[in-house]
Amino acid sequence: MIEPVEIFLASRNPKKIAEMERILGETLPGLRVLGLDDVPAYDEPVEDEPDFAGNALLKARAGFAVSGLPSIADDSGLCVDALNGMPGVLSARWSGPPKDDARNNRLLLDQLADVPDERRGAEFRCAVALVHAGPDGQVREEVVDGVMRGRVIRELRGEGGFGYDVLFVPDDQDGELTSAEMTAEQKDLISHRGKSVRAIAPIVTVALAG
């Protein structure tokens, strides 16, 4: 039996792991994405970089150091025009620790309560980093970005996705679905993470080929 090809994703979010495996699987059939619960426990780095790319690299480097596998990590967030691009890199902990999607969404709605519909533009941004050993044994690092433009609505809609998906209506669609109302396939086609993961997939292919 042929062993599945494996890559490490520095996350223990099962929805994110499944999403990454699904999108990378378009290019790399049979790929198995391992998460934090599949490798020995280690101290995860503090995400204190000022941008998504920096935080993604911190996590990918740490994962590679522990797992020895090609390691991928992403950092993403919602950047709201009326909030000068915030919450941005603070998206997951916008309402303070511990991380809580419901509390973050309530805070965002409160902050935008007086903002008219025409000024509620926003975008999800994602940086995906890959750290791996090249054929010469030298560690190599790659980062790609993806953006999904849309707007923040005034009520929670949908049961899928995670984070701010229940409040975000992407522009690049025929209807008015939130990211949380889309099927996984619909979201993958237009999402910030889908774009960035598909962009890095050819690089992952080369890394796994050794």
- With contact defined as beta carbons under 8 Å apart, do 23 and 194 qualify? yes
What DSSP character marks residue 30? T
162 is in an annotated binding site: yes
**Secondary structure (3-state) at 201:** helix
137 is in an annotated binding site: no
The tally of CA atoms less than 13 A away on the side-chain side of residue 21 is: 19
- With contact defined as beta carbons under 8 Å apart, do 19 and 179 qualify? no
59 is in an annotated binding site: no
Given the residues 38, 51, 75, 100, the one annotated as active site: 75
13 is in an annotated binding site: yes
202 is in an annotated binding site: no
14 is in an annotated binding site: yes
95 is in an annotated binding site: no
Beta pairing partners, 78: 124
Can 75 be counted among the known catalytic residues? yes
Cα maximum dimension of the chain: 60
Q: Name the residues annotated as catalytic.
A: 75
List the binding residues for substrate: 11-16, 76, 162-165, 187, 192-193
User: Known binding site for Mg(2+): residues?
Assistant: 75
